[in-house]
Amino acid sequence: MSRSARLLQLIEILRAHRRPVAGTVLAAELGISLRSLYRDVATLQGDGVPIAGEAGVGYVLGPGLTLPPLNFDVDELDAVVLGLRLVEKRLPNGLGDDAGRALAKIEAVLPKGRSAADVHLLVGAPATGSAAVLDTIRKAIRTEDALVIAYRDRNGDASERIVWPIVVGFFDAAEMVATWCEMRGDFRHFRLDRIERIGLAGRPMERRHRMLLAEWRLYREARDTG
């Protein structure tokens, strides 16, 4: 992460808190040393960002930092907040934490008199798969790496596969990952909560992800219309 991106992230973290945050907490969240945090705070203060506090006490973002309001209409705000609440509830770690921070950012820039708390739509879908499994799949998709998984099917039969992850789907009962399975030489789908072990296979996929995605979509269309 560049230092400019880190400074922006520091502002966003402070914006999400109403009370002073200890320097050690901020440094840990940013993945930097306490000394680097002190330098970053000093830089932002020198640029006019209203950060109050000091080393050993904690830091809080004061009034005076303004951003243009987000002018969602009622239905748009309902949709955005509901979607983020769903991710936060369904994936309590990883993406769920990101959704919570995104919701706090939206709350901070809504016009005066409007609040995400006014959206009376609740989410009750629990998480079914492992957040660590999902994070590994997401990273492998981004880097186009093959994965090795230990899987137990609905009959209790265990197998180990090398797969090329394509896309993750979220359904009422479970999360599913669509893959190209080397053992079967075809597309296969696996429930995340039945993956007992997952890791990188140590080599890239043999086809680019965008090609796999296009082929998988054609495969799904053929099955749906067949």
Residue 219 and residue 148 share a domain: yes
CATH of the domain at 173: 2.30.30.520
Residue 190 within any structural domain of the chain:
yes
**Same structural domain, 7 and 28:** yes
The band of 171, judged by pLDDT with boundaries at 50, 70 and 90, is confident
Q: Most confidently modeled of 3-12, 67-76, 146-155? A: 146-155
Q: Which three-class secondary structure state does DSSP give residue 117? A: helix
Domain holding 218, by residue range, is 131-225
Q: For the whole model, what pTM was predicted?
A: 0.59
Domain membership of residue 69 (yes or no) is: no
pLDDT interval class at 137 (50, 70, 90): very high
User: 218: alpha, beta or left, given left = phi > 0 and alpha = psi -120 to 50?
Assistant: alpha
Does the pLDDT value for residue 67 go beyond 60? Answer: no
Q: Is residue 125 part of a domain?
A: no
Q: Which of 202, 206, 152, 203 is nearest to 179 (CA)?
A: 206
162 and 113 belong to one structural domain: no
3-state DSSP: the chain helix, strand, coil percent, rounded to 5? 45, 25, 30
pLDDT value for 158:
96
Residue 136 lies in a domain: yes
Give yes or no: residues 109 and 144 share one domain: no
Nearest to 192 by CA among 130, 125, 126, 127: 130
Predicted pLDDT at 70: 63
- Euclidean distance between CA atoms 140 and 146, whole angstroms: 7
Would you say residue 56 lies in a domain? yes
- Domain assignment present for residue 67? The answer is no
pLDDT-based confidence at 66, cuts 50/70/90? low
Confidence of residue 223 (pLDDT cuts 50, 70, 90): confident
Let me know whether 41 and 96 are in one domain.
no
Number of structural domains, the chain? 3
CATH number of the domain that residue 49 is part of:
1.10.10.10
pLDDT digits (tens, 9 = 90+) for 72-128: 777 888 888 888 888 888 777 778 888 888 888 788 777 777 778 777 666 666 666
Averaged over 209-215, what is the pLDDT? 93
Which distant-in-sequence residues (6+ apart) come within 8 Å of 54 by Cβ? none
Is 123 domain-assigned?
no
- Does 189 lie in the same domain as 160? yes
At residue 71, does pLDDT exceed 80? Answer: no
Q: Classify strands 158-170 and 145-152 as parallel, antiparallel or unpaired.
A: antiparallel
Q: What is the pLDDT of residue 65?
A: 64
34 belongs to a structural domain: yes
pLDDT at 181: 97
